[in-house]
Amino acid sequence: MYRFMNKKILGRSLLHAFLAVVYVFLIGMLMRNGEKIFGNDSKLLGTMSFLLLFVISATVMGFLVLGKPILMYLENKKKEALWMFFGTLGWLVVFLILVVVGNIIF
């Protein structure tokens, strides 16, 4: 494939992208039932819950997409870190395409 992309990085980037998709699915299910959980009116606690969920989601996704590449970069494995980052991003694009196509078909 590519000179610097080895199977370990490819597999790890696939795993991280898959975990990100699973997390997005779970948060989507939570938000789909948001009125039942958080209520329909705009109370302060409902707004705070949503914003906290947003911050937690940004942190989790940042960890899944950027965590390992940053560690690799700091270990002076710069090319591998970039391949890991772009590999994860590429897998996320593949999953997005599958979801969009699946949504169109079904």
CA–CA separation, 98 vs 96, rounded Å? Answer: 5
Residues 3-24 have pLDDT tens digits of 556 899 999 999 999 999 999 9
More confident residue, 31 or 22: 22
Q: For the whole model, what pTM was predicted?
A: 0.86
Over residues 47-56, the pLDDT tens digits come to 888 899 999 9
* 58 — pLDDT class (breaks 50, 70, 90): very high
Q: What share of the chain is helix, strand, coil (3-state, %, to 5)?
A: 85, 0, 15
Q: Which residue has the higher pLDDT, 50 or 64?
A: 64
Q: Could you give the CA distance from residue 29 to residue 26 in angstroms, rounded to a whole number?
A: 5
